[in-house]
Amino acid sequence: MQRPFAGSNVVKTIALMLCRKPRQWALNPVRSLKIIPNWHGEYFILASILTCFFSMIFMPLVFSQHPCDLIATSPIHDCIDTLKNVQYGTGRHDYDFPDPANGCTPAEPLFTDIFSPCEMAATPRPLVIFVHGGGFAAGNKADFWAQCDAFAQRGYTAATISYRLSINPLTLSRNSLIRAGYRAMQDAKCAVRYFKAHANEYNIDTAHIYLLGYSAGAVTVLNVAFARDVEEKPAETGFDGSCGYWFGCPFCPDLGTLEGDGGWPGHTSEVNGILSLAGAVMDMSLIDTYDDVPVWMVHGTEDQTVDYDSACYLNLSPCPKLYGSHSIQQRAEELGLCSSLFTIEGAGHDVTPYNDTILAQAVAFFNGLVCQGNPCNVNFAADNRAKAAFKVFPNPVGDYLQIEWPVESSGRIALQNLEGKVLFEKNMKTTGKNIIIPAGGIPPGFYFLKWTSSKDNTLEAYKLVKK
């Protein structure tokens, strides 16, 4: 018996799908065909022709999505794909003892962990590369896993990288610090080139690649932003025969160009924005009028490791002077550069208590760069200083802890130990009100007192010591 003609149903269903779900059709037409009613093999040619015809019409619409449409200020993705220990390049082992059997400075592999939403985007995603801290002697790319996951939840691709940790704390000096920072910069530049070379593989928008670093990682990303000209290579990174030799191999070889030789030379290491957490530079002359990369910095006024303004690092002699975020911001303002500083009053080098606030500010900064086009139109004050919402005393804590609010405010106050256990919490609306928290039964140790504003959900935290 002859089958009834189903062509009209085929055409009708395809038309409805294209009108209602053009993205689904364009991205997977074969799968879409499976839902067509009364599907018979003899109509394959008809459906295929219609598929090709309508795909040519609708595909440009599907793939014209702006990268701003992919990101958000709060999580929008529950499923995150992770790729661990992907080799992005190599770095010369030109520190510690040379290796005469392997050319004096053999290459060592460098790795990255990559986080991205499971949902495939029709448009390439912006990328944030994280660089951990640790004084160029310690730290791990895993230190930024949580932040990478947070950015991926908001629609970004995020990566955290390893780099050469070439400082020996026992022989730390000004020269070794400069050379270690130079190697880290070369490795970070290599990572940028790697992702540009593999942009199609990871679906990355090369017009929106950003760096975020903390402490030594912040020094690294600032060097990536500012050290771009050949003449900006530090003299300390050249060959120095006075260091001596090991079986014919110099202890202090020339470290090579600013870009290094880690791989992917056909691509640039230029990025589209920098976020520095507790960072610094060692040479203010690196910052010149040609440095047009937008920079946003976060720094605590009581940082005793990397000074907020400028100071010698760890009191070494000769002095390796670090110019902190406040000095960098002043220099940037003098030159009219696109730079901003978020100051945390009373905060030290450890910015962990402020993670929630910093994450919200970082997302806002990068979202602004992605969505607003001209980076200098991003609306950030030159010095966005965080004002104290309350005062806490005494510290170190004795038998009690007194909290004083100088202005009217409302929110939640919580006292937590280092493991995050809440020892005291209270929702409050204050008008210059003071409260006293009994602390006699709290064991000695370190604690965080956190205030979350109900007005704008910002977080302020104090680190406390109980003796």
pLDDT confidence band for 417 (50 / 70 / 90): confident
Span 450-465, pLDDT tens digits: 777 776 665 666 667 7
Could you tell me if 453 and 346 lie in one domain? no
Mark whether 381 and 396 lie in a shared domain: no
Answer yes or no: do 261 and 169 share one domain: yes
Judge if 346 and 307 occupy the same domain.
Answer: yes
* Same domain as 207, residue 134: yes
Please indicate, yes or no, if residue 453 is contained in any of the structural domains: yes
Q: What is the dihedral of CA 261, 264, 267, 271, to 10 degrees?
A: -70
Q: Is the pLDDT of residue 252 over 80?
A: yes
Q: Are 136 and 181 in contact (CB under 8 A)?
A: yes
Residues 293 and 250 in one domain: yes
Number of domains in the chain: 3
CATH number of the CATH domain containing 444: 2.60.40.3080
Q: Say whether pTM exceeds 0.75.
A: no
pLDDT higher at 300 or 407: 300
Whether pLDDT at 271 is above 70: yes
In a domain, 146, yes or no: yes
pLDDT at 405: 65
Q: Which of 365, 386, 407 is the last residue of a domain?
A: 386
Decide: residue 14, CB within 10 A, 0-12 exposed, 13-18 middle, 19+ buried. buried
31 and 133 belong to one structural domain: no
Q: Are residues 314 and 327 in the same domain?
A: yes
Q: Are residues 42 and 74 in the same domain?
A: no
Q: Which of 96, 416, 71, 354 is nearest to 214 (CA)?
A: 354
Q: Are 416 and 298 contained in the same domain?
A: no
Other Cβ atoms less than 10 A from the Cβ of 366: the count is 25
pLDDT at 5: 41
The average confidence (pLDDT) of the chain is 82
In a domain, 441, yes or no: yes
58 and 96 belong to one structural domain: no
Under 8 Å between Cβ of 188 and 116? no
Classify residue 73: in a domain, yes or no: yes
Q: In whole angstroms, what is the distance from residue 10 CA to residue 19 CA? A: 14
Location of structure tokens 């149903």: 9
Domain with 326, as residue range(s), is 68-386
Choose the final residue of a domain: 62, 80, 102. 62
Structural domain includes residue 263: yes
Residue 2 lies in a domain: no
Same structural domain for residues 51 and 113? no
CATH number of the domain within which 322 lies: 3.40.50.1820
Last residue of a domain, one of 45, 62, 79: 62
The reply to whether 1 falls in a domain is: no
Residue type, 86: V
Q: Is the pLDDT score of 11 beyond 50?
A: no
How far apart are the C-alpha atoms of 398 and 436, rounded to whole Å?
A: 12
455 located within any domain: yes
3-state secondary structure of 18: helix
pLDDT of the residue at 373: 59
- pLDDT one-digit tens code per residue, 69-106: 999 999 999 999 999 999 999 999 999 889 999 999 99
